Amino acid sequence: MNPTIVADVVRVLEAWAPPSLAMEGDRIGLQVGRMDKPVHRVAVALDPYPAVVDEALSAGADLLVTHHALIYRPLHRIDTGTARGRALARALAADLAVFNAHTNLDIAPGGVNDVLAERLGLTNVEILDRIANEQLRKLVVFVPTDHHEAVLQAVCSAGAGHIGAYSHCTFNTPGTGTFLPGEGTKPFIGSPGKLEWTAETRLETVVPERLVEPVIRAMLAAHPYEEVAYDLYPLEIMGKPYGIGRVGQLANPQPLHAFAQTVRDRLGLAHIRYSGRADCVVRRVAVLGGSGGRWVPHALRAGADVLVTSDCDHHTVAEAWQDGLAVVDATHAALERPVLERVAERIREGCGGSVDVWVCAGPEDPFHWV
Ligand SMILES: [Zn+2]
């Protein structure tokens, strides 16, 4: 078996949080290292600070996966007198690959914001700010009849054929395929130089753009032919929506003060701050992991009673209150740390247990409370 390499881990993460979902100007992907490097151990962390790089290296990591970028603003020099420069220098010196998924992980289904909504117990969760719809492709493949079900199962297991809550949605038409094997071929059916007429099924199904590569790989692995005849074409219909932030209902509405305490406890914080009338009842909650002040208008339009986010300034919070929206302002780290365990699980599952993955203890939340 080939060893797992950085590209395998990247493929797993990008099938979940495709780079195409990232917001404009974001810096994501492999920032240090090379794609063909073998990987045995993967460290996952929120920020690639020097202490985190050290923690990853001392535990034998070959790859560090973070949410925030190591290189975000344009890099004019590597000043090893700064934390960022030191982290970069250490990663390069020890050949530690560094990869990050940022706004693409915020937006991805099951990413930062869905994990946060789940942590706060929200139900009927919807997207707060719709950004795009998933692009869809139609896959058509011609399969000899006796391999039809194997290929169907393979492509559907890799993610093709999902429509709403239905899986394995395909259409299958029996027919006859022809081919004439050329010189030097090893045909599965027939022999070189002789025109072959074979009972085949035209299998067609829908594939989200982000899963085209694994679906085609699964299809080729299950198909018996040396050369597989298939078509892939773009569809005009819209796939499921993608967007940042989530909004949902509280199963048990709570007064704002008690709700803020719940958020504090569920995020493992010692304290939390909030704005709004302490006794107003919270039924509908908007969440946005990271700096979410800009999404106050979206939360208001979505009918939320409160926005749970971080890094809010006076004007944002004061005006939101005047407009009837309470704000629970947690810390940026507390909102985004919960997704890290999911990132580790995805890598573990996606790489078939061939790599050790763990979430780093650091970095600590930069905010302390007195
Ligand atoms: Zn963040």
218 and 249 together in one domain: no
Across the chain, what does the average pLDDT equal? 95
98 has pLDDT over 80? yes
14 and 59 together in one domain: yes
Distance 347 CA to ligand 1 centre (A): 20
Which pLDDT does position 171 carry in this prediction? Answer: 98
The protein residues having their C-beta less than 5 angstroms from ligand 1 (an ion) are 290, 336
Query: Residues 75-89: pLDDT tens digits?
Result: 889 999 999 999 999
Which pLDDT does position 216 carry in this prediction? Answer: 97
The stretch 118-129 carries a mean pLDDT of 97
Given 234, 259, 287, the domain boundary residue is 234
Query: Residues 205-253: pLDDT tens digits?
Result: 999 988 898 899 999 999 999 999 999 999 999 888 999 999 999 999 9
230 and 85 together in one domain: no
Does residue 367 lie within any of the structural domains?
A: no
Query: Residues 12-34: pLDDT tens digits?
Result: 999 899 998 999 999 999 999 99
274 and 126 together in one domain: yes
Which pLDDT does position 229 carry in this prediction? Answer: 96
8 has pLDDT over 80? yes
Amino acid occupying residue 179? F
Distance 171 CA to ligand 1 centre (A): 43
146 class by beta-carbon count within 10 Å (0-12 exposed, 13-18 middle, 19+ buried): exposed
* pLDDT confidence band for 48 (50 / 70 / 90): very high
369 has pLDDT over 90? no
Which pLDDT does position 74 carry in this prediction? Answer: 85
As a whole number of angstroms, the distance between CA 167 and CA 140 comes to 17
78 and 124 together in one domain: no
From residue 146, alpha-carbon distances to 149, 171, 216, 266 in Å are 8, 17, 19, 53
Which pLDDT does position 266 carry in this prediction? Answer: 97
Distance 71 CA to ligand 1 centre (A): 14
Distance 190 CA to ligand 1 centre (A): 58
Distance 98 CA to ligand 1 centre (A): 17
> How many domains, the chain?
3
Query: Residues 282-313: pLDDT tens digits?
Result: 999 999 999 999 999 999 999 999 999 999 99
1 has pLDDT over 80? no
352 has pLDDT over 90? no
Kindly report the CATH number assigned to the domain that includes residue 142.
3.30.70.120
Query: Residues 322-332: pLDDT tens digits?
Result: 999 999 999 99
Distance 332 CA to ligand 1 centre (A): 6
Distance 69 CA to ligand 1 centre (A): 9
Which pLDDT does position 291 carry in this prediction? Answer: 95
The pTM score is 0.84
347 and 266 together in one domain: no
Distance 68 CA to ligand 1 centre (A): 6
126 and 247 together in one domain: yes
Which pLDDT does position 78 carry in this prediction? Answer: 92
As a whole number of angstroms, the distance between CA 307 and CA 288 comes to 8
Distance 291 CA to ligand 1 centre (A): 7
39 has pLDDT over 80? yes
Distance 67 CA to ligand 1 centre (A): 7
Cis, peptide link before residue 74, omega less than 30° from 0: no
* pLDDT confidence band for 92 (50 / 70 / 90): very high
125 and 268 together in one domain: yes
Distance 265 CA to ligand 1 centre (A): 20
Distance 239 CA to ligand 1 centre (A): 27
Query: Residues 60-71: pLDDT tens digits?
Result: 999 999 999 999
Does residue 97 lie within any of the structural domains?
A: yes
Distance 317 CA to ligand 1 centre (A): 19
Distance 195 CA to ligand 1 centre (A): 61
Tokens of 122: 């929200």
Distance 53 CA to ligand 1 centre (A): 18
Distance 292 CA to ligand 1 centre (A): 10
127 has pLDDT over 80? yes
Distance 102 CA to ligand 1 centre (A): 7
Kindly report the CATH number assigned to the domain that includes residue 100.
3.40.1390.30
Q: Which residues are paired to 162 by β-bridges?
A: none
Does residue 312 lie within any of the structural domains?
A: yes
Q: Are 287 and 246 in contact (CB under 8 A)?
A: yes
361 has pLDDT over 80? yes
Distance 143 CA to ligand 1 centre (A): 46
16 and 103 together in one domain: yes
142 and 126 together in one domain: no
Does residue 300 lie within any of the structural domains?
A: yes
More confident residue, 321 or 238: 321
Does residue 273 lie within any of the structural domains?
A: yes
Domain assignment of residue 74, given as a range: 6-107+337-359
Does residue 365 lie within any of the structural domains?
A: no
As a whole-number percent, the residues of the chain with pLDDT over 70 amount to: 100
